[in-house]
Amino acid sequence: MTRRGRAELYLFATTFIWGGTFIAVKLGVVDLSPVLFVALRFSLAAVLLFLFGIKRILKTDRTLVWKASLLGLLLFLGFTLQTAGLKYTTASKSAFITGPMVIFTPFFQFVIEKRPPKIGNLAGVAIVTAGLWLLTSPSGGASSGDGFTFGDFLTLLCAAVFGLYIVMLDRVSKKADALQLTFVQMIPPAVLGWMTMPMIETPTLYPTTTAIAVLLYCALLGNIVCGYIQARYQRDTTPTRAVIIFTIEPLWASILGYIMLREVIGYWGMAGGALIIAGILVSELSDTTPSLPAAG
């Protein structure tokens, strides 16, 4: 198997794990308040990673610490918004709304790297917007029927944060040690979670079997395994091919949501989800379309 083929196989495996985290978090916020969930999840991941790779982690240079800490800040914002959003929306809708994070990427590239978005990026945004309207309309989800909820809004903000994260990760990960980068990113969400929790929420913790299992799943598989795979193997394929693979994630989430939570998004919701995936692909496959003129 080629290096790119192996990398893409690993990335495909992460889509199933990440799809499962939406279900896990939806179950977890029943027994855990959102910020406490984030703090525990990343603290556990940081401790386990440190024990696993202590020798390499202690060799992390100061420059990487600063850059990876900024990535960790974005992870804290993104996962806190996503976790809080899952208290008020379904796992299936959350997965489809998080998916358009790659739609935000070209616009952050324009702000940070002065790379104008392509016409295909704008077309993708239009298609995704139509898909979000169908997905979050009152007729979009037969199991919810309440239109665009507060949870959907928080999740959309989360997608924007993750779009910025993708741009920054691409700039940092190319020359970084994958284990060191993964570990340092776990620290800010853990620390900020514990610091901000008393100001944001009244901490709630019911140590049920479900809560413990969900934390282990998210920390071990969602944070450590998927975080390492993305930091280590995404560089071995093209961004476009990686995004095409990642579009499978909300499909897994919706399938698992139906099986485990009996979530039904309805025909209009399915149409909306299909449009969101189509819009993402249109945007990411727009390399051959012309860019918009740069300002000035």
Q: Residues 257-273: pLDDT tens digits?
A: 888 888 877 777 788 88
Strand partners, 118: 291
Question: Confidence band (pLDDT; 50, 70, 90) for 45?
Answer: very high
Percent of residues, the chain, with pLDDT higher than 70: 92
Instruction: Check whether 14 has a pLDDT greater than 60.
Output: yes
pLDDT of 39 reads: 96
pLDDT of 295 reads: 41
pLDDT of 120 reads: 80
pLDDT of 294 reads: 45
Q: Distance between CA atoms of 57 and 71, rounded to whole angstroms?
A: 17
Question: Confidence band (pLDDT; 50, 70, 90) for 77?
Answer: very high
Instruction: Check whether 293 has a pLDDT greater than 50.
Output: no
State the average pLDDT over residues 87-107: 85
- Cβ neighbour number for residue 181 with a 10 Å cutoff: 23
Mean pLDDT of the chain: 85
pLDDT of 191 reads: 96
Instruction: Check whether 145 has a pLDDT greater than 70.
Output: no
Q: What is the pTM of this model?
A: 0.84
Question: Confidence band (pLDDT; 50, 70, 90) for 139?
Answer: low
pLDDT of 240 reads: 64
State the average pLDDT over residues 223-246: 80
Higher pLDDT, 164 or 116: 164
The one-letter amino acid at 85: G
pLDDT of 262 reads: 83
Instruction: Check whether 245 has a pLDDT greater than 60.
Output: yes
Within 13 A of 61's CA, how many CA atoms are on the CB side? 5
pLDDT of 5 reads: 86
State the average pLDDT over residues 16-34: 93
State the average pLDDT over residues 45-67: 92
Instruction: Check whether 282 has a pLDDT greater than 70.
Output: yes
Q: Distance between CA atoms of 32 and 38, rounded to whole angstroms?
A: 9
Q: Of the ranges 86-90, 120-124, 140-144, 182-186, which one carries the lowest mean pLDDT score?
A: 140-144
